[in-house]
Amino acid sequence: MSKAGLIRLVVLVAFFGAVEALCRTGVISPKLVIAPTAMVEAMVNMLASGEMNDDIRQTLSSVGIAMGLSIVGGFALGCVLYWAPPLRRTFDPFLAAYYSLPHFAFYPLLIVIFGLGSLPLIVLATLFAMVAMILATLTGLDRIPRVLIKTARMQRLSLLAEIWHIRLPAAAPHLFSGLKLAVTYSFIGVIAGEFIVSTSGLGHQIAFAYDNFDNRTMYGLILFVLCIAIVFNLLVFAYERRLARQRGL
């Protein structure tokens, strides 16, 4: 393990150890925070009982669909805007200002349009995540060095071969940053949306437990959501490391 990794581990252990001690000695009231070991216990019990399985399934499938739509759609729209400069000039101000909008304020409107259930959440998360992918795609395509395009022409490549063998790999690092953001934003979009008005899903269950002073369930769920997010991020990180190694970095 690297030195930084070791220090990180020590910090984490010290932090959770301290919280554990403060909770167990009653310095921190269980009405506020329960001990980390109790959180783990609550999460394990909850998973073992299977009571949350439907909510887990619903949330993860919504996240998955939003992720897929925003990555594929964002990439496609990014390409369209890149190859149609007038269109891009038209939408540039909207794209630039997009993330200053409070997206979740539109959630009630989406419910009116799409009804209750998963659909408005998927739409919300996709809207939230897709623009990150569009912007990353545009940046990636913009930053392809001109000399590589010239090289493609010197190699007498067809347009398709140029895109596949030169433009996409050259833009890949930026596309990947967009992908990472889209993954994260899909998570945030779905779970935060569920908090507000949904009648099921992990976000709703956390809000429900909170409303009922059910700290054990609430912290168990929060820990579970955290675990899923961490696992996803680790997977993406591992894949990114692999790509970087393929470039000798």
Partner 1 sequence: MTVVARLTDVSRIYPPRAGHAAVHALGPLSMELRAGEFFSVVGPSGCGKSTLLDVLSGLAPPSQGTVEFEGKPVAGVVPEGVGVVFQEDASFPWLPVEDNVAFGLRRQGMDAAEIKRRADFAIGFMGLNDFRRAYPSQLSGGMRQRVCIARTLVLQPRLILLDEPFGALDQQTRLLMGDELLRLWRETSATVMLITHALDEANLLSDRIGVMSARPGRFIDVVETGWPRDRDSRLAERPDFGAVTSKLWSLLRTESMRALGQGAVAAQ
d(CA 72, CA 223): 30
Between CA 172 and CA 60 the distance in angstroms is: 27
- 154 DSSP 8-state letter: H
Token pair listed for 57: 């399934």
Nearer to partner 1, 24 or 150 (CB): 150
Beta carbon nearer to partner 1, 37 or 158 = 158
CB 69 within 8 A of CB 127: no
Burial class (CB in 10 A: 0-12, 13-18, 19+), 19: middle
The CB-of-176 to partner 1 minimum distance in angstroms stands at 12
Region of 158 on the Ramachandran plot (φ > 0 left; ψ -120 to 50 alpha; else beta): beta
In the complex, what is the shortest distance from the CB of residue 136 to partner 1, in angstroms, rounded to a whole number? 17
Q: How far is the CB of 81 from partner 1 (least distance, A)?
A: 20
CB of 180 to partner 1, least distance (A): 18
Minimum Å gap between C-beta 145 and partner 1 is: 7
Binding stretches for partner 1 (CB under 8 A): 145, 147-148, 150-151, 153-157, 161, 165-166, 169-170, 172, 246-249
| Residue whose CB is less far from partner 1, 90 or 155 | 155
Query: For residues 27 and 154, which CB has a smaller minimum distance to partner 1 in the complex?
Result: 154
Pick 199 or 246: Cβ nearer partner 1: 246
Give helix 202-211 / helix 168-196 axis angle, nearest 10°: 30
φ/ψ (deg, to 5) at 201: 100, 165
